[in-house]
Structure 1
C-alpha cells in the first residue's frame, strides 16, 4: 500500500464497478395508508432483457467514464481501461484503477486484461478489492441512488424506455462530478446543506 500511495501525486485513481439493468423491476418497500386494503401492484414482464452498466469515477475530481454493454466481458472492461489510460496520459499521469476481482478483471482470468497490462506497461496499474467484499469498492455507492431513480418499482412497459432512463442517469452523472464524488464518499467532495437537500429531492 505504501508504494501505491507514493504514486498518487503522479497518478489518477479511478474506482470502477458495474451494475445489471434488467426490465424486471427491483422491488422495495413503499409507504401506504395504515389499514388500507390491498397492495400497490408492480407489473413484472414475462421476460427480463438486461444490459450491464459500467462506471469509473476519478476519486479526486469526479470525472466519470460510463457506458453500457450487452454483457460483462473482459473486452468491454479493457475498452474502459483504455479510455482511462488515454485520459490520464493526456494529463501526463498514470492510471490506477480500483476494481473487484471478478475473473474478467484479472490478468490470470482473462487474456485480454493480460494483454492490456502488457500494452500499457507503467501507464496502468490495477488494484483489486478483497473477494466478496463489495463495501471495499466505493463505486458500489453509486448504485443505490441509480436504482432509486431508474429501476425500483418502475412501471415501464418497454425495455427501451428503461434503458433510455438509465442512459440519462449516467449522462447526468457525467455532467455533475461533485455529485459523483459525494456518492462514492470521496474526501474531495464538497458537501453543503443545499447539495444534500437537492439530492434528496431528486
Structure 2
C-alpha cells in the first residue's frame, strides 16, 4: 500500500479492488485495516462479492461446457474427457484454445 501511495501521489483517493478470497479475511487483514485507518481514507478498498457467477462472463462458458460435456459423461478415461472438451471448444470459434501443450503429454 505504501508503494501505491508513492506511485499515485497526484491522486487524492486510490481505489483498490480485492477479490474477497478467504485469505483476505485472515489476521493480516487487521494489519491492513489499521494501515487504512492511519492514512485517512486516501486508499479505499472495495471487495468483490465472494461468489457472483452472474457478474463473471466466463462462468457462462463453464456452465455450458458442463451441460454439454462433463455432466453425466460416459468417458472411459480422462484423455477421452479432455478430447471431448477440446472438441466442444473447437466448435465454438470464440473459445478456441491452443492444445499443443496437451498433445505433448
TMscore range, shorter length: 0.3 to 0.5
Scaled by the length of structure 1, the TM-score of the pair is 0.24
Structure (1/2) with the larger helix percentage: 2
Structure number with larger C-alpha Rg = 2
Structure (1/2) with the larger strand percentage: 1
Scaled by the length of structure 2, the TM-score of the pair is 0.41
